[in-house]
A and B are shown apart, each in its own frame.
Chain A
Amino acid sequence: MALKTAKEYLDSIKKMKPRVYIGGKWVTNLLGNPVTKSMVMANSAIYGLAEDPAHKEVMVATSHLTGEPVNRNLNVARNIHDLDMRQEMAQLTSQTVGTCNYRCVGCDALNSLASTTWEMDQTLGTKYNERFNKWLAYAQANDLAVSGAITDAKGDRKKRPPQQDDIDTFIHLVEKRDDGIVVRGIRVSQSGAIGSHETLVLPGGGLKEGEEKFALAFAVQNSVPGLSYICQYNAYSAEREACDNEDELGNPLYGQRETSTMYFDNVFIPWERVFLCGETKYAGKMVTRFAKAHRMNCGGACKVGFADLIIGGSMLAAEYIGVEKIPHIQEKIIDMVRYSETSHACAIAAAMRGREEPKGSGVFLPDDLFGNAAKLNIAHGFWEIMKNAGDIGGGLVVTAPRMKDLEDPEVGPILKKAFGAVATAEKRMKVAKFLQHWTAGLHGPGTWHGAGAPQTQRFMFMVLTDFEAKKKMAKKLMGMKED
């Protein structure tokens, strides 16, 4: 079996028992808790996209290892077309679920691993790439949901990992054995591991000599003993738990973005799943290559998909009260499209200017500058898009009563009178809840920080931009002599 259906994924996940804690309780059935269920249902919708012939070009790729069709979430990009379809997948999945494609981080992590383990084997004579390819072939053959865990808890940011008072704030090696390694530590802000079969763990950043125990990359099955997940909990979690009808919610089926803090308490990882162990020089490369892919996809194209939904909702809100032709409303909608499509263009450019890295590896990674531009542009643009959506949506976005109140014999008629306009009160309130989900939810900071906070992209702009060349061309045009 190379491609799982949505149903097959759901059947498989029903039997998975990761150790999950959310809002004061341990969850024994992911589909029995309304919040964890929303994450699982989003993943199932992503599987479903690969079944749809209309999306085959985007969602299905050909494995370079076996020649079999595989879900693009498990594909290593081997050419420009693969990169382009990867960023299109990011947009499509966001348009479909209005939350994370929870297989996205894993996809970008495995592309980084394909590239970096190849380089290590060439340079160091290790067998990491061979191991990685066997793991990947197994994941592809079983169409596993693979998430990624990149961000260490980090502790005191002024201190290096070994200097921390509690080094559990970084994933680290506890023991090397004949059959594998034992690791412990904490990863934070991890999207969707609870509903995945496995997670790829990469180094959280560059490392120096003397920090070998932190230089780790591995694949872990998500239900192994010693691994626990403490889920995020917020007003949206509480609302989803408390409501008796999910239709009440802005994104009824798939919810907000669900993340967890992963605690590795002396977890055993067999050598066959270890892709970096002590080679500090390659830790930075691994995370940089991951970021390069992730900024085009999660940073850029994914949020374009979100923007498409917000723009659609905003236009409906305008039409429902009869203001869609008012010039300043149209101007705001156009601005939203401008921000969104500029990032889309940057993501496409990142794919089109992608290249094999390193040479000979056969692995294609996006152009770094354009990928960073996609992410940085939408990080700022997303707030503007949300501002305009809040503006067009009006006060109702935050003042709407419960949907269910429309059915109350006493207050229902009052609400229908109050909120009925060109469209019914029900339609207006539904759109208001939808826009509330975006503008008053978790997506603002999520978009800002996802794939790295904007300061990291600014730093990359400084590193990647050839300022000397720009000064030189300016001087030449001015007729100024070189110093």
Chain B
Amino acid sequence: MISNEQERGVEIMAVKIDGKAWRTYEGLAGTFAGFADSCLRMKTLPGFYRTGLIVEGELKERRLHLVLPGKRTPAELMEIIDVALLNIVAFPCTEGEAECFIEVKSEN
């Protein structure tokens, strides 16, 4: 069955910070693939450009696990991921069912 999101050509990404559900973002379909490519191949986040910003990254189907270096509070992780997703032109949303998942943790 084609979802409303598929019809509109968008995808919803649910973000977890330190294991807790935080926020969902909507982007054009393919945005999650672009975000994952930034993290895994380019080793950085959109809008940041520093390599080494991703200590660990793993993609299992539509679920991306990221570990960012150093000791960062959940609020700091949220700020970073918000900037990264906005820079790949995805915006916070409240409707729709997530089909992509981003889980972010701090190294320490």
Chain A interface residues (CB < 8 Å from chain B): 12, 15-19, 131, 133-135, 137-138, 142, 144, 179-180, 197-198, 221, 223-226, 268-273
B69 at the interface (CB under 8 A from A): no
Tell me the nearest residue of chain A to B89, going by C-beta. Answer: A221
Partner of A225, one of B30, B33, B44, B86: B44
Check if B91 sits within 8 Å of A142, measured CB to CB.
yes
Q: A134-B8, A225-B49 are in contact. Are A268 and B41 (CB under 8 A)?
A: yes
Partner of A223, one of B31, B37, B88: B88
Segment 26-61 of B: residues with Cβ below 8 Å from A: 28-31, 33-34, 37-38, 41-42, 44-49
Tell me the nearest residue of chain A to B50, going by C-beta. Answer: A225
Check if B46 sits within 8 Å of A223, measured CB to CB.
yes
B87 at the interface (CB under 8 A from A): yes
6 interchain residue pairs of minimum CB distance: A270-B30, A134-B9, A272-B30, A17-B47, A223-B87, A225-B42
CA–CA, A32 and B41, complex, Å: 31
Segment 1-31 of B: residues with Cβ below 8 Å from A: 8-10, 28-31
Partner of A272, one of B9, B38, B44, B47: B9
Most-contacted residue by chain B among A144, A225, A271 (CB, 10 A): A225
A-B contacts counted at CB < 8 A amount to: 83
Q: A17-B47, A144-B89, A197-B89 are in contact. Are A138 and B28 (CB under 8 A)?
A: yes
A contact face: mostly helix, strand, loop, or mixed: mixed
Determine the chain B residues whose CB is within 8 A of the CB of A272 once the complex forms.
9, 28-30
Check if B87 sits within 8 Å of A16, measured CB to CB.
yes
CA–CA, A269 and B30, complex, Å: 8
B83 at the interface (CB under 8 A from A): yes
22 contacts between A and B (CB under 8 A): A15-B86, A19-B49, A131-B9, A134-B8, A134-B9, A135-B9, A135-B28, A138-B9, A138-B28, A179-B33, A180-B30, A180-B33, A221-B34, A221-B46, A221-B87, A221-B89, A223-B46, A224-B34, A224-B46, A270-B30, A271-B30, A272-B29
